Amino acid sequence: MADTATPTVIRRADYAPPAFLIDTVALEFDLVPERTVVRNTMRVRRNPDASHAAHFELMGEQLEFVSATIDGTPHSAVRTHAHGLSVDNVPDAFELTLVSVCNPAENTTLSGLYVSSDNFFTQCEAEGFRRITYFLDRPDVMATYTVTLRADKAAYPVLLSNGNLLDEGDLPDGRHFARWEDPFRKPSYLFALVAGKLVKLEERVRSGSGKEKLLQVWVEPHDLDKTRHAMDSLINSIRWDEERFGLELDLDRFMIVAVGDFNMGAMENKGLNIFNTKYVLANPETATDTDFANIEAVVGHEYFHNWTGNRVTCRDWFQLSLKEGLTVFRDQEFSADMAGGATDEAARATKRIEDVRVLRQMQFAEDAGPMAHPVRPESYVEINNFYTMTVYEKGSEVVRMYQTLFGRDGFRRGMDLYFKRHDGQAVTCDDFRHALADANGRDLAQFERWYSQAGTPRVTVSTHHDAAQHRYRVTLSQGYGDAAPAARDTQKGPLLIPFALGLIGANGADLPLRLEGETAAQGTTRVLEFTQTEQTFTFVDVAEKPLPSLLRNFSAPVIVEYDYSAEELAFLLAHDSDPFNRWEAGQRLATRELLGLAARAATGASLQLDDSVVNAFARVLTDETLSPAFRELALMLPSETYLAEQMPESNPAAVHTARQFVRRRLAEALKNDWLAIYERHQTPGDYEATPEAGGHRALKNLALAYLAELADPADVVRLAGAQYDAANNMTDRSAALSALLTAAAASDGRRAQAALEDFYRRFEKEPLVIDKWFALQATQRGSAQRPVIDIVRALMSHPAFNLKNPNRARSLIFSFCAANPAQFHAEDGSGYAFWADQVIALDALNPQVAARLARSLELWRRFTPALREKMRSALEKVAAQVKSRDVREIVEKALG
Ligand code: B3K
Ligand code: ZN
């Protein structure tokens, strides 16, 4: 597994079509954990569109070669080598049969064929298929597959693969077989098989054209009571894609399988989606409202890939955002439609706010560091390192901008043309852009820069009101500010930025908008097409000086700089008709205050909170016209990670002090309001997984979390303790436990300890809940007497901890290193030393998971000097010992 040689850089510019094509693949598996034999028969021919190649080159990794025949006769000119196998002297078209052996039981990378809880699973994207058989493992080689699975019937009663079941039956010696056929051509990364002791929830539905479809959710037997929500989410996804995009399920059968050991969220294998249990299993006792929402989103995401990814796939991995950005956009729209339909803007906005918060906190940070890359990267060493926030989330924003420019109908026209042109093909981001441009009669050449330029654009706004002429001028200028070196090299010129804007009058109402040269006003929100480095838009008939509401609904993934006063922000928070910008105003107000306080905290100066912030928060808190879900989002302060990144030098300790100070001040100043909210938003009776009920729980639990900040925690210990005991759902129970842990810092902590013990006993048999138990402890506040690193180190030896299980590793190690900044960045460097040890340990087991963890230190250059030096030594320690290409790429880029 070790790649000791200098890693090869793969470049987009070097793309060449494959010299050979594979039309059909017949796979036969004899499934045995330690020694699975795979027989692979391919129909191969030369690619008429490629230059002649002397050899047929197939990729292979961790395979034991057994035999090769060409057109039925043993072939002598087959050479195996470090990266696979070459066949010399091949005819123009031939049938090649290769037999090889792999070892799923020992496969801790969870890429290729592996064993989890004694069952077999596969994960092939991006380059896992070559760990199963020798193949031309690249997405522009599309074939139809038939798959025969043979295994011991008692140990592996269920045998699944892509497509439709052709045949099944018994074999001698207690074995049995199943044969599957996928009628659609697909790239190898979409291959899947599952074998084991699984049970299913099954449902038959009719698709839009009246065809019957069999839907199944497969899980381990004890989890059958947690499958209903995933099934409902699947049915809703099928309906939604028919209604919104006219896209129908193309197979007779669609299966989802849950697995407890999985590197990421889920995988869109054709007709056989494989999911991390975290994104399938839910019932009210074990899953939070957030879990329910995430399951709906991920089930939707993988289902939507059936068209955006599978029917039309990527030509090469540089085009990854073609399927991922587009499919994230589709899942975001699905969730928004499920929450608020097409018209409830406030309900849709809560989803939008959550998505933008993730983008800003994670993607903007990525764009500011050594891993910065365009939505369509130019090069990579390990493709698995490029399943990034940029490719996914910024990619989704890029797709959203087409819809913002052309409207829902124009976007749909573009999608229709895209499928008409490219169904069954492996294509590029340019092909997608051309379809959108052609369907809408537009030239989108400039828009291409969104795919090729890295870094977060900054839009600086200045305004001028001419009271005599009743004109209002808005001048926008764009650039990238002080971009990271990795981003700077890619920046060539101005972007086409759809900049949505409104103007608000003194009474709080939107003004009708008429641009100079127009005969009449058109609406109250305008999407300005901002294409120059600097551009001025002049509005006429503006008698009084308005307040601008900028970048409504976050119409482009940019940073907006405009000098609002605190009063103006409070006004926007109270009046903006755009719910996203109402939230945004509150965040700007809080961010500014918090950064000022953090700067003071860094010098040890005393802290004081401006009344304007308390008053603005009080108004939102008590405004019963606002939905509880919106209020919860508006009252949540920006995260410590986000705030630290906004400082000239990141100082996590100072940010923590400032944010804690503000939380406590808001808790104290508004104590009675929080208590009233806590009472008013109870949800008695049976648990309901609706957005409304979830909004009440969210606001109520936010109140509890603020109350837990009070210097005297007696009240909250009583409330949270009672809530913990009485809870009939995981949202309330985990929120109560979290509040008890927070309050423990100011009390003796016995109640928290008792609840932690109870929680463990109660859910000992529920791995996903035990993950929460680890995560809650890893992200807790801690104290000087009891730093969280000590707790985390102790938990590493807990019998339930297992480094090989990615969910468990994430719940303890990643939670601490990425979600507890004040403790992780402890001055003594203990967090970094722990991080280095864990990256090195994971590197030997599972490079993909290790590489994710490795990224926790990539912004080290932006921290205060003392931390910076300690981070550098930790990175150097990892760089000296790393074995995998995955981790090496990350730490070498970080050390640069
Ligand atoms: N396409 C997969 C991700 C595969 C990651 C490989 N390292 C899941 C998804 O985006 O739907
Ligand atoms: Zn995806």
Contact 216, 255 (CB under 8 A): yes
What's the whole-number average pLDDT of the chain?
Answer: 97
Least confident stretch, 484-488, 735-739, 752-756: 484-488
Residue 2's pLDDT is what?
46
List the beta strands (DSSP E) in 720-814: none
* Atom 4 of ligand 1, residue of closest alpha carbon: 125
Probe residue for ligand 1, chosen from 131, 191, 267 as the CB with the greatest number of ligand atoms within 8 Å: 267
The residue to which tokens 């406030």 are assigned: 346
Q: Please say if the pLDDT value at position 4 is more than 60.
A: no
pLDDT of residue 5: 58
- Per 3-state DSSP, what percentage of the chain is helix, strand, and coil (rounded to 5)? 45, 20, 35
Confidence check: pLDDT of 704 > 90: yes
Calculated CA dihedral for residues 744, 748, 749, 751, nearest 10 degrees: -120
In single-letter form, the type of residue at position 431 comes to D
Please indicate whether residue 789, judged by its CB atom, sits closer than 6 Å to ligand 1: no
Task: Identify the residue whose C-alpha is closest to ligand 1 atom 9.
Answer: 267
Q: Which among 383, 288, 323, 306 is positioned nearest to 59, based on CA atoms? A: 383
Tell me how far the alpha carbon of residue 263 lies from the centroid of ligand 2, in angstroms: 14
Lowest mean pLDDT among 14-28, 391-405, 610-624: 610-624
CB 819 within 8 A of CB 780: no
Would you call 9 exposed, middle or buried from its count of C-beta atoms within 10 A (0-12, 13-18, 19+)?
exposed
- Residue 76: per-residue pLDDT: 85
| Nearest atom in ligand 1 to 268's CA | 11
Residue 558: other Cβ atoms inside 10 A? 20
Q: What is the pLDDT of residues 777-823, one digit of tens each?
A: 999 998 888 999 999 999 999 999 999 999 999 999 999 999 999 99
Is 302 close to ligand 1, i.e. is its CB under 6 Å away?
yes
Residue 265 CA, closest ligand 1 atom number: 8
Would you state the structure tokens that stand for residue 125, as one six-digit string?
């994207």
Give dist(CA 175, CA 156) in Å, integer: 9
Structure confidence by residue, pLDDT tens digits, 437-491: 999 999 999 999 999 999 999 999 999 999 999 999 999 999 999 888 999 999 9
Q: Which residue CA neighbors atom 5 of ligand 1 most closely?
A: 125
Domain limits, CATH 2.60.40.1730, in the chain: 1-197
Ligand 1 centroid – CA 264 distance (Å): 7
Beta strands 193-196; 253-259: pairing state:
unpaired
Amino acid at the residue 858: E
Q: Which residue has the tokens 């100070």?
A: 661
Helix axes 628-635, 345-358, angle to 10 degrees: 30
How many angstroms does the Cα of residue 664 sit away from the middle of ligand 1?
41
Cα 430 to middle of ligand 2, angstroms: 19
Q: Whose CA is nearest to atom 8 of ligand 1?
A: 267
72-76, 190-194, 428-432, 820-824: segment of lowest average pLDDT: 72-76
What secondary structure letter does DSSP report for 393? I
Identify the nearest ligand to the CA of 267 by its number: 1
Above 60 in pLDDT, residue 3?
no
Check if the beta carbon of residue 311 is closer than 8 Å to that of residue 184: yes
Q: Count how many Cα atoms sit within 13 Å of the Cα of residue 751 in the half-sphere of its side chain.
A: 25
Question: CATH 1.25.50.10 occupies which residues in the chain?
Answer: 764-896
Whether residue 708 has a cis bond before it, omega within 30° of 0: no
- 260-309 pLDDT, tens digit per residue, is 999 999 999 999 999 999 999 999 999 999 999 999 999 999 999 999 99
Neighbours of 358 (CB within 10 A): 13
- CATH for 1-197 (2.40.50.100, 2.60.120.260, 2.60.40.1730, 2.60.40.3880): 2.60.40.1730
Active centre residues (catalytic): 302
Pocket mutation for ligand 1, best pick of 122, 130, 263, 268 (most atoms within 8 Å of C-beta): 268
Q: Whose CA is nearest to atom 10 of ligand 1?
A: 324
Place of tokens 């209002």: 472
20 forms bridges with which residues in the sheet?
Answer: 46
Are 273 and 266 a contacting pair, CB within 8 Å?
A: yes
Residue 1 is predicted with a pLDDT of 44
Q: What is the C-alpha to C-alpha distance for residues 94 and 42, in angstroms, rounded to an integer?
A: 8
The rounded percent of the chain whose pLDDT value lies above 70 is 99
Answer yes or no: is the C-beta of 422 below 6 A from any ligand 1 atom: no
Neighbours of 590 (CB within 10 A): 23
Kindly give the distance from the C-alpha atom of residue 309 to the centroid of ligand 2, in angstroms, as a whole number: 8
Cβ atoms < 10 Å from Cβ of 850: 25
131, 264, 301, 380: residue to mutate for ligand 1 pocket, most atoms within 8 A of CB: 264
Q: What is the mean pLDDT of residues 529-551?
A: 98
CA of 846 to the centre of ligand 2 (A): 21
- Cα distances from 618 to residues 573, 584, 703, 719, in angstroms, run 12, 16, 12, 22
Residue 126 Cα: closest atom of ligand 1: 6
For 312-559, the fitting CATH number among 3.40.50.720, 3.50.50.60, 1.10.390.10, 3.10.129.10 is 1.10.390.10
The pair phi, psi for residue 68, each rounded to 5°, is -140, 135
Coil/strand/helix, residue 451: helix
Q: Spell 781-819 as b/e; 16+ CB within 10 A means b.
A: bbeeeebbbebbeebeeeeebebebbbbbbbbbbbbbbb
Nearest to 556 by CA among 729, 397, 421, 418: 397
Report the range of poorest mean pLDDT among 271-275, 412-416, 744-748, 805-809.
744-748
Q: What is the pLDDT of residue 469?
A: 98
Mean pLDDT over residues 346-354, rounded? 94
Ligand whose nearest atom lies closest to the CA of 847: 1
Please give the helix or strand (H or E) that residue 549 lies within, else none: strand 547-550
Segment (H or E) for 144:
strand 142-152
CATH topology for 764-896 is Zincin-like fold (1.25.50)
Report the pLDDT value the prediction gives residue 747, as an integer from 0 to 100: 82
Is the shortest distance between the CB of 324 and ligand 1 below 6 Å? yes
264 lines ligand 1 (CB under 6 A): yes
Give the Cα separation of 737 and 715 in Å (integer): 15
Please tell me the distance from the alpha carbon of residue 452 to that of residue 319, in angstroms, as a whole number.
11
Answer yes or no: is the C-beta of 267 below 6 A from any ligand 1 atom.
Answer: yes
Angle at the Cα of 75 from the Cα atoms of 71 and 77, rounded to 5 degrees: 130
How far apart, in whole angstroms, are the C-alpha atoms of residue 226 and residue 886? 35
Helix (H) or strand (E) holding 434: helix 429-439
CA of 624 to the centre of ligand 2 (A): 38
Which regions of the chain carry the CATH code 1.10.390.10? Answer: 312-559
Average pLDDT of the residues in 246-259: 98
289 in ligand 1 pocket by Cβ < 6 Å?
A: no
Average pLDDT over residues 130-153: 98
Nearest-angstrom CA–CA distance, 715 and 721: 10
The values of phi and psi at residue 19, to 5°, are -70, -25
| 126 Cβ below 6 A of ligand 1 | yes
